Amino acid sequence: MSNELTIIGSGPAGLTAALYAARGNLNPTVIEGFPPGGQLTLTTEVENFPGFPEGIMGPELMIKFREQAERFGAKIITGEVKKVDFNSKDFKLLLDDESIIKAKSVIISTGASAKMLGLKEESELIGKGVSTCATCDGFFFRDQTVIVVGGGDSAMEEALFLTKFAKKVYIVHRREEFRASQIMLGRAKDNPKIEFILNSEIIEIHDPKQNKVNKVMLKNNLTDSIKLMETDAVFIAIGHIPNTSLFKDYLNLNENGYIITTEGTKTNIPGIFACGDVQDWEYRQAITAAGSGCMAAIDTERYLADL
Ligand code: NAP
């Protein structure tokens, strides 16, 4: 037997879709994915989610999202979808425990993942000084020196968070102009522990042989000069890539891999909807993701009613 609706992903988009779908009697099943709760569980304070004037910690906000969806009957399964088959109207999802879920409709809210620099040492040293999550790993670098790579809000946010632990935080950015908002950039510039290294890129991270980060090789993009710099950690905060590899054989994606949606949250396959960061490369906010999750649930309700 098929579920009415299966939702893949449990960030603000997926759990808002689950809340609305549960209240619409669609008995949604949510496949939680990793990390459960999505990117907000890897962040610290969320200051821009309406309704929380004092701010709220990301993981706490996602627990509230989850509780609210469950209160109305959403079923949440811990696990990951490994494969999908969207060929027949009974959509099939293969989970990591080899179980198969069949659904009449699917909402995709798999979000996006942190981009990496593409250096060989990065994968060797991840979790050993290379990180994409200051909230998760900042604590390990108390009174140490760390580098944050990037020039957007994520880099500023990570750097500011790291000043709580590290004695010195360098922001390495490849040019002089920033994508970061003025308010975040201003906070970083005003923090005495933060120093900017501009027009520069990391081209090597040392030292995989010692199983830890102790130096990086920096290249100045204006002069092509190269220098070694000591550091205890490298936090990479250079943006995200959408988690769409499971769907590329079925769904229309744009040149950056984001799912293309039309008329709200519809994909090119009737009955498959997408919401949140997996289809939004422009706004990428928790509140916009939640809003599009609500839209996806309403679009699904109408689709199922018409079946
Ligand atoms: P972003 O705005 O796309 O910035 C990515 C940064 O990384 C850019 O400065 C980019 O440099 C740099 N970069 C990209 N690839 C690189 C590479 N291979 N090597 C070196 N540098 C590289 O991404 P984001 O900072 O993750 O922010 C994404 C969205 O989330 C934004 O809309 C942002 O406002 C929002 N956000 C908001 C908050 C907040 O309000 N608290 C916090 C975090 C994020 P170039 O500029 O040279 O391309």
For residue 283, the one-letter residue type is: Y
126 against 68, higher pLDDT: 68
User: Of 90, 136, 207, 294, which one is the catalytic site residue?
Assistant: 136
- Both tokens of residue 81? 């979808």
Interior angle at CA 141, CA 136 and CA 143, nearest 5 = 145
Average pLDDT, the chain: 95
Distances, alpha carbon 141 to alpha carbons 39, 56, 161, 162, in Å: 22, 24, 12, 8
Q: How far is ligand 1, taken at its centre, from the CA of residue 178, in Å?
A: 9
Q: Which CATH class is domain 120-236?
A: alpha beta
User: Does ligand 1 come within 6 angstroms of the Cβ of 135?
Assistant: no
Chain-centroid distance of CA 218 in Å reads 27
User: Does ligand 1 come within 6 angstroms of the Cβ of 151?
Assistant: yes
Is residue 232 part of the annotated active site? The answer reads no
Residues 174, 182: Cα–Cα separation, whole Å: 18
pLDDT above 70 as % of the chain: 99
Supply the pLDDT for residue 5. Answer: 98
Which secondary-structure segment (H or E) carries 65? helix 58-71
Confidence of residue 41 (pLDDT cuts 50, 70, 90): confident
Sketch the domain layout of the chain as residue ranges: 2-114+240-306, 120-236
Residue 134 in contact with residue 162, Cβ under 8 Å? yes
Residue 26: pLDDT above 90? yes
Is residue 294 part of the annotated active site? The answer reads no
Could you tell me which of 103, 86, 71 has the C-alpha nearest to residue 3? 103
User: Does ligand 1 come within 6 angstroms of the Cβ of 215?
Assistant: no
Residue 39 in contact with residue 46, Cβ under 8 Å? no
Question: Dihedral (C-alpha) 167, 114, 212, 135: value to the nearest 10 degrees?
Answer: 40
Confidence of residue 39 (pLDDT cuts 50, 70, 90): confident
Q: Is the fold of 2-114+240-306 the same as that of 120-236?
A: yes
- How would you classify residue 115: left for phi > 0, otherwise alpha for psi between -120 and 50, otherwise beta? beta
By CB atoms closer than 10 A (0-12, 13-18, 19+), residue 161 is buried
Considering the segment(s) 2-114+240-306 as one domain, its CATH architecture is 3-Layer(bba) Sandwich (3.50)
User: Does ligand 1 come within 6 angstroms of the Cβ of 142?
Assistant: no
Confidence of residue 1 (pLDDT cuts 50, 70, 90): low
- pTM value? 0.77
Could you tell me which of 45, 17, 43, 47 has the C-alpha nearest to residue 30? 17
| Sequential DSSP letters for 33-57 | -SSTTGGGGG--EE--STT-TT-EE
